[in-house]
Structure 1
Amino acid sequence: MSAYEEEMETAGNLGRKLGLNRRQFLAATTGMAAVAAVSAAGPMKSAAHAANGILVPPPRRGIILYTVRDAITRDPLTSNLASGFKAVLKELGRIGYAQVEFAGYAQHRNAEGGASLESVEGARLLRGWLDDSGLVAQGNHGFIPGSWPLNQADLDRFKLHLEIANILGMKHVGTGSDPTGSAYKADWDVAAEKWNTLGQIASEAGLKLYTHNHDVAYSFLLDSGPLDAQGRPTRSSGIRRLEYFLQNTDPKHVWLEMDIFWAYVAQYKHKTFTAPDGSAQTQIFNPLGVVQAQTMRFPLFHAKDGKINTGTANGYDMVPFGTGDIDYKSFFSEMGAKGYHNPMYEQDNAPGGTANPGQSLQYAALSYNNISKLRG
């Protein structure tokens, strides 16, 4: 029996003791209902995953749909491969994934439901497909208003996205972009003000608002030293941009999804800065340390693997999860708050194009298998 089959059997046994089928049990264990139910049922083997050293238990194994975007946007009339949301969600559920993160609501126009499901009606359709596939929606890289102060049109669309998230059963809603692409403190101050406001609106809707990082967000903030011709600072006190953002946003309303791959790229790329006195300083970034310092502010991760390649600017090549050099065993073992985080497998370059149109779903299966094997 495989490790996955053993875990499914354990889930089934526990579920039966609680009067739930396996799918209901796995869905329930993503929230507090399962915690209460397991506590009421006694110790049983509720610690089975921990005892077995499983680092990502079955209910926490997720994928962001950007990884399989080629399949979602594929014309179902011209391919016998899974195409469109309905078929792709079914296939991901068959592989074993328990949760997904959306990357927008667009699919091929010939797929059931049409080209865009960014609506209340579309969300209801998606929710039915999620339920049928045994999947839970955990978050979305969706719409974040660009305007500040907010204009009414942006506010209305943002609130629509919150309504869609609630229909889909999400606990989180976010974006795939950094809060700002600027290097300057003043712009990050504005971003913090904006996100505090948006985060409070999301909290009132029962959702956690999160931002996502690329490597540049963990480069050094320009906040000191001589000013340039536009009156902007040219040197750094040594704080990284996203760390400054964390310090200046309300932990009750603003959350983060660390893309672990891009955090390791930052470790490779962003090592030095010019201090206020003009001296060159070296500071190696520690992605795990950032999470350990405030682990509850990272409810989601992008579990994206990389193979070291110092011949490239990033220092890593993206590869299927479990085939790279990022030490996920240590990361997931040592980050704290076990059972709280939701790792979402992502691979930007998973689609194989016309040469291998099934590649992204093949990589999804391979990566799921490797995630399920992670032991502490």
Structure 2
Amino acid sequence: MRSAHSEHPELDRKLRRRGFLGVAAGATAAALLSPGTATAAPGPATGQAHGHRPIVPRGKLGIQLYTVRDQIQKLGFAPVFRALERYGYDSVEFAGYTQGTGEITLRGLKRLMRDHGLRGIGSHVGYWSTDPAAYTFATQLEKVVDDAAALGLPHVGTAASPDRYGRTVDAWKRAAEDFNTYGAAARARGLKFYQHNHQMEFGFAEDKPHIRLYDVLLAETDPELVHLEMDIYWAYAGQHRFSVRPDGTPAPFDPLDYVLA
């Protein structure tokens, strides 16, 4: 298979050390939790329904809670966690610890997970904000990692693009330095820091349009400190959108190459 990085051998050497976080697969939970499907009868701990062979192995069915944010905001964490347990989910990834529900303590969330047989595997937290009081890695780093540790999460990361300083090569190198700092703070608490991509990470640097920005991120972050959680959908959206450089020359890539490199 053609390497996604073969045009940039200096980046390729660094990227070969890179590992990606394992994927926690999930069914269409928003549909499962809707009133119209509340009486469905899934198989135990697999998401299996109507006698079909399960797609996800037992113990591997997880969900990013942003997917069910509307249900959490309307009903609260407890009813949603109860439904997730019923449908065989065993792990959750947080996207905020209140999600519009009002006050809930980390201890309360941890108890709810335990009561419903769920384990927290990670959390998406903002990267930065112009508000110094905002709950982001850049503004409240110690609290972010402390909260994740208090919840017993093995991972804490961000789904924000590394665009804080712009979309040039040097801007993304600077963002990579931030991520290395956050990774070191997370590791000091026994956690792993990670970045979750969307499509824009696969675009090209504004100052050097022959270089894909995702390659800069992977090459400039320390693989011992910064891990990558590839969003399969958005990676392939990026493949579709950024298969041609700004000058019109072809630049095809396969997201799978990043995982296998």
Report the CA distance shift for 1:156/1:187 in structure 2 as closer, same or farther (over 3 A): closer
SS at match of 1:199: helix
Q: How many residues align?
A: 210
Q: Deviations over 1:115-167 (max 9, x none)?
A: 033xxxx11110000000000001111243447xxxxx976722222122122
How far, CA to CA, are the matches of 1:108 and 1:154 in structure 2? 20
Q: Of the two, which has the highest radius of gyration?
A: 1
1:128-207 to structure 2, matched below 5 A, reads: 128-146=111-129, 157-180=140-163, 182-207=166-191
Distance 2:88 2:163 in 1: 36
Equivalent in 220, 226, 237 of residue 248 of structure 1:
220
Distance in 1 (CA, whole Å) between partners of 2:103 and 2:88 is 26
Instruction: Tell me if structure 1 keeps the 8 A contact 2:46–2:61.
Output: no
* 2:85 equivalent in structure 1: 93
| Amino acid in structure 1 at the alignment position of 2:258 | V
1:324 corresponds to which residue?
Answer: none
Paired residues for 1:1-376 under 5 Å: 4-5=43-44, 56-74=56-74, 83-109=75-101, 115-117=102-104, 122-146=105-129, 157-180=140-163, 182-222=166-206, 233=207, 235-237=208-210, 239-274=211-246, 280-293=248-261
Q: Indicate if the aligned counterparts of 2:155 and 2:192 stay in contact, CA closer than 8 A.
A: yes
Cα RMSD (Å) of the superposition?
Answer: 2.6
How far is 1:280 from its partner?
A: 3.7
Q: Distance in 1 between matches of 2:237 and 2:46?
A: 33
Q: TM-score, normalised by structure 1?
A: 0.51
Distance between the aligned counterparts of 2:147 and 2:204, measured in 1?
36
TM-score w.r.t. length of structure 2: 0.73
Going by fraction, where is strand more abundant, 1 or 2?
1
SS in structure 1 opposite 2:201? helix
Provide the C-alpha distance between the structure 1 equivalents of 2:161 and 2:217, rounded to a whole number of angstroms.
10
Structure (1 or 2) with the greater helix fraction: 1
**Matches of 1:143 and 1:5 in 2, distance apart?**
35
Paired letter, 1:244: V
Percent identity (aligned): 37
Q: 2:128 and 2:242 mapped to 1: Cα distance? A: 29
Deviation at 1:236, TM superposition (A): 2.2
Shift of 1:216: 1.0
CA distance in 2, matches of 1:5, 1:154: 38
Give yes or no for contact 1:140–1:175 (8 Å, CA) kept in 2. yes
Q: Which runs of 5+ in 1 are unaligned?
A: 9-52, 75-82, 110-114, 148-152, 223-232, 294-376
The answer for unaligned runs of 5 or more in structure 2 is 1-40, 48-52, 131-135
Could you tell me how far apart the structure 2 residues matched to 1:264 and 1:209 are? 23
4+ runs deviating over 4 angstroms = 2-8, 153-156
* Helix, strand or coil at the partner of 2:249: strand
